[in-house]
Every structure is written in structure tokens, then in C-alpha cells.
Amino acid sequence: MSQEKTQENLTLKERQLLLRLARRAIEAAAAGRPLPQIDLESLPERLREPRACFVTIHTKNGELRGCTGVLVARLPLAQEVIQTAAQTALRDPRFPPVTPEEVPELDIEISILTPPQPLHFSDPRELPRLIRPGIDGVTLFRGPYRATFLPQVWERISDPVEFLDMLSQKMGLPPRAWMFPGMQAEVYQVESFSEKELADEAPPPG
């Protein structure tokens, strides 16, 4: 997916390394083993920088099997990917934990987030024209309620109003809750890549 980015993209080797770490973490989590340990000093500088990320896993049929992440950077990226991958495998409340038998058939996707930027508006009804379909991930929050949609969600919800309606429901509120007084919003962009995409892009052998 091509999204607007404010930071330089990772190299192919850096993407491959993060995907390997995510797969190792999911394998370990599913088997009940300790998560992989890494030597940060041996990694490229960009993988040592604190970055927020999400890890999404799909079945071989393309069905969602889990997606969790963090919106604010807290750990070096490589460590964040390991922790988030394990959490996605075991703790997405929408799905049962991933089993060891499933792991070989899963496709792993990593989304690396830019720092969130607040949207400024005097009337929440302005929101649909402030968000950019196909580019922005959106977080809504009001009091104890908070939810986010990654930019990838635009692939199945292209209308901004419907996008916000569905995000409101993800918060546990009615569809038009994004128009409630006091609603706040942030946007971010992602660099996303998956095992399947990298395999499809690889040159043929020979």
C-alpha cells in the first residue's frame, strides 16, 4: 500500500529482518516459549529508534486473524515489533490465541507509524473533510473511549463518513458519535509491508 510518509522508508533488508523477528515472536508466543532476545547494538540504527507499530496477521485465505499495536513510541522498533507480534498472536480479544499449528500458514504484516498529529476543528462535522482517504490512519478519543483505524482500513471503507461511523462503533459508541461535543481526533501515516508482498516482489531465481 502506498501511503504518505514523513520519515525515510526502511530498506528491503530492514523490512525482512523485522518480519523475521515478528514471525519468531509469534512462533514463540504460540508455543509458550520465551520471546526472542536481540542484540540492539548489532541492528541498523533505524531499527534501534523508538517507533510505534502495529502487527497484523492474516490466514492464508486473507482473513484477519489478529491486529494489535501501540500509537505512541515506547521501545526501540525491533523490540516493539517482537512485543507487538506476540501480543497480536495471543491477546487480540476478538480472536482465540494463535496455535503452533497455524503459524506456518499465517501472513504477517507490520505497520510502522509516524507520530500522531492532532486535528484542529471547531465543529466535529468538519472531520470528514479533514481526513485523507487512503493516507491517514485516524484515532478518535473522548473521555474513556478511544479507538483507531489504520490507513489499510480505507481499502474496504472508502467513504469518510462511513469510516468515522465504523470507528465510532469500534469505540463502543453509536455510529455518529464522532459528532459528539468534545470528540478529539488525531491522524498518522504508516509504512506497511507484509511477508506476502515481499515474496511477490522478489525477483525470480536464476
- Tell me the mean pLDDT in the region 42-51: 97
pLDDT computed for residue 4 by the predictor: 41
Q: What is the number of structural domains in the chain?
A: 2
pLDDT computed for residue 205 by the predictor: 54
pLDDT computed for residue 163 by the predictor: 99
Would you say residue 7 lies in a domain?
no
User: What is the total residue count of the chain?
Assistant: 206
Please choose, from the candidates 135, 192, 178, 133, the residue with its C-alpha nearest in 3D space to the C-alpha of residue 157: 133
pLDDT computed for residue 201 by the predictor: 75
pLDDT computed for residue 5 by the predictor: 40
Query: To which H or E segment does residue 28 belong?
Result: helix 12-31
Give the pLDDT confidence of 123-136 residue by residue, as tens digits.
Answer: 999 999 999 999 99
Tell me how far apart the terminal alpha carbons of the chain are, to the nearest angstrom.
28
Residue 180 sits in a domain of what CATH number?
3.30.1490.150
Residue 62 sits in a domain of what CATH number?
3.30.700.20
Statement to judge: residues 72 and 106 lie in one domain: yes
CA distance 160 to 1: 18
Range of the domain at 61: 12-113+190-201
CA distance 55 to 89: 9
Give the pLDDT confidence of 60-118 residue by residue, as tens digits.
Answer: 999 999 999 999 999 999 999 999 999 999 999 999 999 999 999 999 999 999 999 99
Beta carbons within 10 angstroms of residue 199's beta carbon: 9
Burial class of residue 145 in the structure, from the number of CB atoms within 10 Å of its CB (0-12 exposed, 13-18 middle, 19+ buried): middle
Statement to judge: residues 43 and 140 lie in one domain: no
CA distance 142 to 161: 18
CA distance 182 to 140: 11
| pLDDT tier, 3 (very low <50, low <70, confident <90, very high otherwise) | very low
Residues 6+ apart with CB under 8 A from 153: 163, 166
For residue 189, the Cα-to-chain-centroid distance in whole angstroms is 10
Whether the predicted pLDDT of 8 surpasses 90: no
Would you say residue 30 lies in a domain?
yes
Statement to judge: residues 40 and 53 lie in one domain: yes
DSSP 74-100: -SBHHHHHHHHHHHHHHH-TTSPPPPT
Statement to judge: residues 124 and 81 lie in one domain: no
